[in-house]
Structure 1
Amino acid sequence: MQDQPLNAADFDAIESTLLKYGDDHSVLNPSELDGYFTALVSSPEQVDIAEWFPGIWGGQNPAWETPDEAKQFIELSVRHINTLARQLAEDSAAFAPRFEQTEHLGHDVTLAEEWCFGYLRGVAVANWTPLPAIQATLLQAISDCAEQDNFELPQDLDVVAHQQRVAAIAPAVRALHDYWLSQR
């Protein structure tokens, strides 16, 4: 069961748990968690659950109401991180970040900010070493998207330029994963 990709109900369960136990210092939605896990599986070294799990919660594990609730969240997390690891290692072309979508002035707009926040959180937890210039530029493209304020998109948002920046993230992630994989 730990090798099955998550379905919509699984992501709903993750979202409910993140909202229930999260705060301003924790991962708050499945998009951010997806980015976090993507950085972890792309890291130069494997990160132990004892390090990455508290990282979801800003360093402090929740006071779970029941052991079953904790067990379910951990199992779903492990399934998703395993899916991402397998996907990036075996079929990276199939990898697609779980970005959020919104409508803005009559246009469908992909929001990458929270996913990128999660990715950068994962980079920090995994303690990535400095990157060569090419890879540092790829990471900067992800970091730049994390700095955008997508909670209130500006009226003058250049939707085409925004979507181009967002479209560059998945290829950057694949390249960073491949770089670290070649260094292991």
Structure 2
Amino acid sequence: MQNLPLIAAEFDLIDEILLKYGDDHSVLNACELDGYFTALVSSPTQLDIAEWFPGIWGGQNPQWQTTDEAKQLIELSVRHINTLARQLAEQRSAFTPRFEQTEHLGQTVTLAEEWCFGYLRGVAVANWSALPAVQATLLQAISDCAEQDNFELPQDLDVTAHQQRVAALAPAALALHSYWMSQR
């Protein structure tokens, strides 16, 4: 059961639980959680659930209304982090960050800001050390994307340039994973 990838309904359940218990300091949706887990799986050291689960909530676990919700989120989280670990290590072509889509002036635009927020949260929770210049540039591309305000896309958005920046994120995440795995 812990090796099965999540299906759409399970990602929806994650979104519901994160929204119900989240606040300004927590991961708020499955896209952000995906970025968070991608960074954790790519980290120089493996973290225990006791370290990474509170990181979802900004360091403090919520007051659960039922233990079933906590158990469900933990089970789904473990399955998803295991899927990401397998993809990044063994099935690299299957790795696809979980980004959102929106319509902008009649075009579909991919939004990666929340995934990037999550990734940077994972970097912080895992306490990554300084990176060499090449890898630091890759991480900076993720960081730059996290700073974009995708809630209100500007009318003059260069969609092609935006999509190119977003398209560079998965290769950056794969390269950072490879770097840290070579350091373990």
Q: Name the TM tier (shorter chain).
A: over 0.9
- In structure 1, the partner of 2:110 is 110
Which residue of structure 1 lines up, in the alignment, with residue 75 of structure 2? 75
Residues 144-167 of structure 1: CA deviation (Å, up to 9, x unaligned): 000000000001100000000000
CA shift digits 1:70-99 (9 cap, x unpaired): 101100000000000011000112100000
**Structure 1 partner of 2:41:** 41
Please give the TM-score of this superposition, normalised by the length of structure 1: 0.99
Partner of 1:95: 95
Residue number in structure 2 paired with 1:182: 182
Work out the percentage of aligned pairs sharing the same amino acid.
Answer: 83
Q: Describe the superposition over 1:75-125 as per-residue Cα deviations: whole angstroms up to 9, x where unpaired.
A: 000000000001100011210000000000011000000000000000000
One-letter identity of the residue aligned with 1:181:
M
Q: Counterparts of 1:31 and 1:52 in 2: how far apart (Å)?
A: 16
2: CA distance, partners of 1:69 / 1:95: 28
Correspondence for 2:22: 22
> Quick one: distance in 2 between partners of 1:134 and 1:43?
16
Report the alpha carbon displacement of residue 48 of structure 1 after superposing the two structures with TM: 1.1
Displacement of 1:129: 0.4
CA root-mean-square deviation: 0.5
State the Cα distance separating 1:141 from its structure 2 match. 0.5
CA distance in 1 between counterparts of 2:75 and 2:62 reads: 16
One-letter amino acid of the structure 2 residue matched with residue 101 of structure 1: Q
Task: Report what 1:119 is aligned to.
Answer: 119
Matched residues in 2 for 1:176 and 1:93: separation?
A: 15
Runs of 4+ in 1 over 2 A off after TM superposition: none
**What is residue 9 of structure 1 aligned with on the other side?**
9
Match of 1:102, SS state, is: strand
SS at match of 2:103: strand
Letter paired with 1:159: V
1:176 deviates by 0.3
Residue 58 (structure 1) aligns with: 58
Tell me, in whole angstroms, the C-alpha distance in 2 between the residues paired with 1:92 and 1:47: 21
How many Å separate the matches in 2 of 1:58 and 1:178?
A: 27
**1:126-150: per-residue Cα shift (whole Å, max 9, x none)?**
0000000000000000000000000
Cα distance in 1, alignment partners of residues 74 and 152 from structure 2: 33
**Cα distance in structure 2, aligned partners of 1:77 and 1:47:** 14
